[in-house]
Structure 1
Amino acid sequence: MKIVLACVAGLSTTMMMDSMKSVINNSKKLNSDDFQLLAIPVEQLPTEIEDTDVVLLGPQVSYKSDFVKSLTEPLKIPYVVIDRETYGSMDGGTVIKKALIAQRKQEIKNAEGAKNNV
């Protein structure tokens, strides 16, 4: 699962990414080999969107959600804006859960769309 974390310059998002990696590595249910995490400035998203499963936006770039939606929606990639409280506390566990839920919802939506097109 490729998760792209987008923010302003990548510094605080790298800290969040490290927190997420720690949660994954310490989990009995999650396998670190199943995850690829990438922290980038939001402007780099067009060049990194390929093969992405979920895009996470730091709260400081939530104003860019229309831009992100324009990139993710045609590719059926979900995106989540991380709330300030979760981001401020560097709660990687909550962020991983939100990413997994967003991906699962998109899978269900894609499957329903496929059924309706048959």
Structure 2
Amino acid sequence: MKILLVCAGGMSTSILMKKMEKYWNDQGQDLTIKAVGMSEYQDVYQDFDIILLGPQVSYRLKEIKENTGLPAETISSLDYAIADCPKIMKLAEKLYAEK
């Protein structure tokens, strides 16, 4: 699965990205993940299966779905804040099934 994480500037999702990579690896799952800011997602989305948004850019969800045509969803504020990787993984798998 190839996941694109999008947030305002790419910084907070970089922290989450590292935790997700470790969790997926520990679960034996194959994962490619990249964290970018809003200004970058249009340059790279073609290489990904799904898009997960940080809560701070949730208001851009509709726009991102329309611009990319990819399954996309916002990570809940709590799951994002505490890096609840099991819940985020379930969300990612649900979106991947829609692809």
The aligned counterpart of 1:41 is 37
In structure 2, the partner of 1:8 is: 8
Give ranges in structure 1 of 5+ residues lacking alignment.
108-118
Any conservation in 1 of the 2:42–2:68 contact (CA below 8 Å)? no
**Structure 2 length-normalised TM:** 0.91
Give per-residue Cα distances to partners, 1:12-35, cap 9 Å, x unaligned: 1011111111111211xx33xx31
Higher helix share goes to which structure?
A: 1
Structure 2's unaligned 5+ residue stretches are: none
**Whole-Å separation in 2 of the counterparts to 1:98 and 1:7:** 17
Matches within 5 A, 1:76-91: 77-91=70-84
Which structure's CA Rg is the greater one?
A: 1
In structure 1, distance between residues paired with 2:67 and 2:13: 20
RMSD value, Cα: 1.3
- Is the Cα–Cα contact under 8 Å of residues 2 and 35 in structure 1 kept in the other structure? yes
The AA in structure 1 aligned to 2:24 is I
**Which residue matches 2:49?**
53
Sequence identity percentage: 31
